[in-house]
Homo-oligomer: A and B are copies of this chain.
């Protein structure tokens, strides 16, 4: 099929076809040089959105009827296809994002491993949540009738790509992978900062759709201008759920549109977080330099453009705390700025870092130097008292990029008070030695209420894709704290339960059949039975 050449055609990919858009055009820009990168991309009109959503709707019935093996094969084929063209993808992504080769190679691996992990979940079928309450004909006063439950996919899902993970949170990222693993067709709205990277991954997915003989509407990739196409996608009656990673204002706009539909739909938006780090005295005593090194690395890596970047760190108001700040200042002075994702993101960073530094009580701790390329601002660390933080909401705002704020504390009571003042967070990190366990334990119940992931003696950047990961948290970290956007639990976002009561065996879907043809673990009368157990 000539469309899948792994050459960039500059068009949307709608149900396996390269479709030129009816609106204006755009090109990618190399943020390291501020130069345009070819080709030109044509953008779809609001009217063209329904080509993709209509095809997704058409594809849904056959896609959701796939048996586990075929379904898992499809996900693995995507991984294989992306890996096959991995070098081309990484090369293009470097140009479009300014991120390093090493970072992007790692992200590519994470992206394809994610599809493979999700394929294993599809094979095991635990996400189907099968429950069986057998009939009890002799029950008094009324017999119990046979009831069986399984989860089914919601329907076509709209996914929005993030700028900062051109692979792992974009075209073939966590939202796409989890929706496809749930059995939901995906209409993906590309992030305009990396259209070429998106097209390459989109071609790899479309090719997998074709090779595994699925309905082509299972996946589409749209390039659209501004917000109109995105809003129209969320408002489209065929769309049943939305995955989004980006700014708080962007997420809130989609949530509003979704809530105002005739039939409202869930929006899973991962939005903003400042990821507090708590450094306790014992840990600091042991490892001042290691901690400062880890901190600077976590703040500056990927130019600080990570949703789990540590925006604030609580440090004791002691001599060791001062040593930590001084070591941080020393280390960061050696750091050159790294090119940010776009000129707009760079400008926003500069403006927000300025606002922070202008706040009453905020002082500079140290800064690096500007990087060699364009849009590579010097990373900066600031300091303030914990009381300024509690009093001033500006200090709670995420600055997307390599800036961070050290907050000096005198007592655990201050830490508790500051923690209670936090908004919802993706992560909270504790740096501890054994002598700190007792005091840190008083903080844990508060942090559980504030964050989706608590971690000890590590740094929040770097999100493992596994079964136990939670990448989410109370609002505004995410729009729905009951979920995660990373890890296999993310699949559950796109499923809903259906019960079958007194249904003849001939009509029961396979997951709930008594013979258990899919070898699923199931909850029988409230007790877990593994495959093969009666």
Pick the residue among B131, B145, B437, B523 that contacts A464 (CB under 8 A). B145
Q: Which of A453, A470, A483: most chain B CB closer than 10 A? A: A470
Tell me if B432 and A504 are in contact (CB < 8 A).
Answer: yes
Give the shortest distance, in Å, between A182 (CB) and chain B (any CB): 11
Q: Which of A61, A497, A527: most chain B CB closer than 10 A? A: A497
Q: Which of A461-506 contact B (CB under 8 A)?
A: 464, 466-470, 472, 474-476, 479-484, 488-489, 495-504, 506
* Proximity string of chain A (401-431) to chain B, C-beta cutoff 8 Å, 1 when within and 0 when not: 0000000000000000000000010000000
Q: Which of A437-471 contact B (CB under 8 A)?
A: 437, 440-441, 444-445, 448-449, 451-458, 464, 466-470
Tell me if A503 and B454 are in contact (CB < 8 A).
Answer: yes
Q: Which of A150-189 contact B (CB under 8 A)?
A: 152, 154-155
Give the shortest distance, in Å, between A486 (CB) and chain B (any CB): 10
Tell me if A131 and B437 are in contact (CB < 8 A).
Answer: no
Interface of A is mostly: mixed
Tell me if B147 and A464 are in contact (CB < 8 A).
Answer: yes
Complex Cα gap A152–B65 (Å): 34
Tell me if B424 and A458 are in contact (CB < 8 A).
Answer: no
Pick the residue among B149, B496, B502, B521 that contacts A455 (CB under 8 A). B502
Complex Cα gap A493–B445 (Å): 21
Given the known inter-chain contacts A440-B507, A489-B131, A497-B452, please indicate yes or no for A145 contacting B468, CB distance below 8 A. no
20 chain-A/chain-B pairs, Cβ below 8 angstroms: A133-B466, A145-B458, A147-B469, A148-B468, A149-B489, A259-B259, A263-B476, A266-B480, A440-B507, A448-B498, A452-B496, A453-B499, A454-B499, A455-B503, A457-B502, A458-B502, A467-B523, A481-B496, A482-B495, A528-B530
> Which 3 A-B residue pairs are closest in the complex by CB-CB distance?
A455-B501, A470-B499, A149-B468
